C-alpha cells in the first residue's frame, strides 16, 4: 500500500512539471505564456506565441509525463487491476491540470491524457488523434479538436478496447471540464483559431 501511495505522489509531481513554462523559459522567450495568449501552459498556447517548433517539444514532454507513469505502473504491478491503472491515469491528469509548482493553475490536460491513452491502448488513441488532426486542419480551433478527439476516443474504445472504457470516460469528462470556458466561446462563435484552417 505504501508503494502505491509513493508511486501516486511521484506521478503527481512528475505530471505537475510545467513543461510549457520550462521550455519557453530555457529557450529565452521574453513572453510568459501564463500571461499572454490564452494564458494556458500547454502546447497550444506555446504554438500561438512561439510557433510549432517549441510547441512540439512541449507536446512530446506533456505526453511523456502521462505515458511514463502508466508504463511504469504496468511494469511494477503487472497483475494490477484497471482501477489502479485508472488511479495512476487520473493522478497524472490532475497533476498537469493542477500543478503544485504553479499554485494549481495548469493546462487543460489534452496532451497528458493523450500520452496516458497511447500507453494504455494505442488503437483507439490513434483514432482520436486522427479526429483531432482532421478537426484542427478544417477549423483551426484547438478546443473543438480536443473535444472531438474525446468523443472519438470513447467511440474507439467502445469498438476496439471496451475493457478500458471506464478510464476513457473519466478522462474524457476531465478534458470536457477543463474546456468549459472554450465550449461557451464556441457556442457564442467567439473561439479564436490557433492555426489557420485549410
Residue pLDDT, tens place only, 151-172: 999 999 999 999 999 999 999 9
Please report the pLDDT score of residue 195 as a whole number: 61
* Grid coordinates given for 160: 476496439
Q: Can you tell me the distance from the alpha carbon of 128 to that of 154, in angstroms, rounded to the nearest whole number? A: 9
Place of cell 484497471: 82
Residue pLDDT, tens place only, 34-68: 998 888 899 988 988 898 889 999 999 999 999 99
Please report the pLDDT score of residue 198 as a whole number: 39
Alpha helices in the chain (DSSP H): 2-15, 19-26, 43-50, 52-76, 82-97, 110-120, 122-139, 142-160, 165-178, 180-188
Alpha carbon 197 to its chain centroid, in Å, reads: 22
- pTM comes to 0.93
Please report the pLDDT score of residue 172 as a whole number: 96
Low-confidence stretches of the chain (pLDDT beneath 70) = 195-198
Amino acid at each position: 500500500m505504501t508503494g502505491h501511495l509513493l508511486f501516486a505522489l511521484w506521478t503527481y509531481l512528475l505530471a505537475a512539471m510545467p513543461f510549457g513554462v520550462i521550455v519557453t523559459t530555457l529557450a529565452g522567450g521574453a513572453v510568459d505564456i501564463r500571461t499572454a495568449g490564452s494564458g494556458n501552459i500547454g502546447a497550444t498556447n506555446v504554438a500561438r506565441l512561439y510557433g510549432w517548433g517549441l510547441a512540439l517539444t512541449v507536446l512530446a514532454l506533456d505526453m511523456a509525463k502521462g505515458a511514463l507513469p502508466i508504463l511504469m505502473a504496468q511494469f511494477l504491478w503487472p497483475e494490477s487491476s484497471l482501477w489502479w491503472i485508472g488511479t495512476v491515469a487520473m493522478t497524472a491528469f490532475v497533476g498537469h491540470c493542477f500543478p503544485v509548482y504553479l499554485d494549481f493553475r495548469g493546462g487543460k490536460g489534452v496532451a497528458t491524457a493523450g500520452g496516458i491513452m497511447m500507453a494504455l491502448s494505442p488503437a483507439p488513441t490513434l483514432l482520436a488523434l486522427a479526429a483531432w488532426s482532421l478537426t484542427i486542419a478544417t477549423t483551426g480551433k484547438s478546443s473543438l479538436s480536443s473535444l472531438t478527439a474525446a468523443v472519438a476516443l470513447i467511440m474507439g474504445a467502445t469498438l476496439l478496447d471496451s475493457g478500458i472504457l471506464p478510464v476513457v470516460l473519466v478522462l474524457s469528462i476531465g478534458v470536457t471540464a477543463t474546456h468549459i470556458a472554450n465550449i461557451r466561446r464556441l457556442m457564442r462563435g467567439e473561439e479564436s483559431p490557433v492555426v489557420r484552417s485549410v
